[in-house]
Amino acid sequence: MTQTLQLPIIDLASSDRISTALSIRQACMECGFFYLTNHGVEGDLLHEVLEGNRIFFALPLEEKMKLALKENRGYTPLYAENHDPSSSSKGDSKESFYIGRFEDTTHGYLNQWPAEEILPCWRSTMEDYYKRVLNAGKRLISLVAMALNLEENFFYDTGASNQPNGFLRLLHYPGDLGPFGENTYGASAHSDFGMITLLASDGVGGLQVCREKTKEPRIWENVHYVPGAFIVNIGDLLERWTNCLFRSTLHRVMPTGQTRYSMAFFMDPNPDCVVECLKTCCSESNPPRFPPIRSGDYLEERFKLTHRS
């Protein structure tokens, strides 16, 4: 029987920032996942975004395909992604909608939106949510810096969170896909690519974590829903930055027979930021494990590996 993972709860509004940073450090070293409360996104807005999520994915496929993925923005249908290349599944049983930075138009990267007459106020709701979660992510990144014994503005000063590459991903896991096979996943086993992820959901289960990704057999633990809290996890780039001090943990979504809706916000570094081992995370006896890499190049390559063209 799958056990339930007891995650620490981090209060973003706590006045004791040093204690909060220490709690984040412990959570990121031990598991790479934690709950985040008092993040500044009101319950009413979360409810409104979840309802917008449901309404969008209820549209006819033909209507959704008008917004098919371009430049990492827009709609991906069922089975279009497979996060685990070693899996023999036909793809992940979920559909997604990606929303990127609003001001990122220098390369023609424009978000796609449903027509206002089809989904009135949908765009403004999603833009409002994006801005609120981005603000929470920036506040959290300052605490992450402190957790790494760095100045709290470190990631801003180095260009990582100065115009960060935030992506909001709406997700729908249908509950009526027929019998579940051995290789049926809502989202197959993976670690997130970037810096940190802030996840909100409707409370339906299915999210599981494997704390020891290099060991076999893998041991999976359920992550329970905490009303109003984000589930935060560390991504691969932050693991590289910290020389594996902070853990980018494997996770997946298993089908439960119930429809699941969620919103994942990927707080990734500015694409031009170079990610290299932090001085507080290496020494003569613990040299850097990864070479420096441009954030945008790393993320683009990882994205291509998991999305079918």
- What's the mean pLDDT in 55-69? 97
pLDDT category at 86 given cuts 50, 70, 90 is low
Query: Cα(192)–Cα(197) distance, rounded to whole angstroms?
Result: 8
> What's the confidence (pLDDT) of residue 303?
82
- What's the mean pLDDT in 25-51? 97
pLDDT category at 180 given cuts 50, 70, 90 is low
Better pLDDT: 306 or 15? 15
pLDDT category at 288 given cuts 50, 70, 90 is very high
> What's the confidence (pLDDT) of residue 108?
53
Lowest-pLDDT range of 81-90, 103-112, 161-170 = 103-112
> What's the confidence (pLDDT) of residue 107?
54
The percent of residues in the chain predicted with pLDDT above 90, rounded, is 81
Look at residue 105 and tell me whether its pLDDT is greater than 70. no
Look at residue 309 and tell me whether its pLDDT is greater than 90. no
Look at residue 231 and tell me whether its pLDDT is greater than 60. yes
> What's the confidence (pLDDT) of residue 235?
97
Look at residue 133 and tell me whether its pLDDT is greater than 80. yes
> What's the confidence (pLDDT) of residue 88?
61
Question: The tokens of 61 are what?
Answer: 């496929």
pTM: 0.95
> What's the confidence (pLDDT) of residue 173?
97
pLDDT category at 184 given cuts 50, 70, 90 is confident
Look at residue 103 and tell me whether its pLDDT is greater than 80. no
> What's the confidence (pLDDT) of residue 87?
66
> What's the confidence (pLDDT) of residue 282?
96
Mean model confidence pLDDT for the chain: 93
Contacts of 78 by beta carbon, 8 Å cutoff, 6+ apart: 91, 93, 94, 95, 174
Better pLDDT: 202 or 161? 202
* 107-121 residue pLDDT tens: 556 899 999 999 999
Place of tokens 């929470």: 136
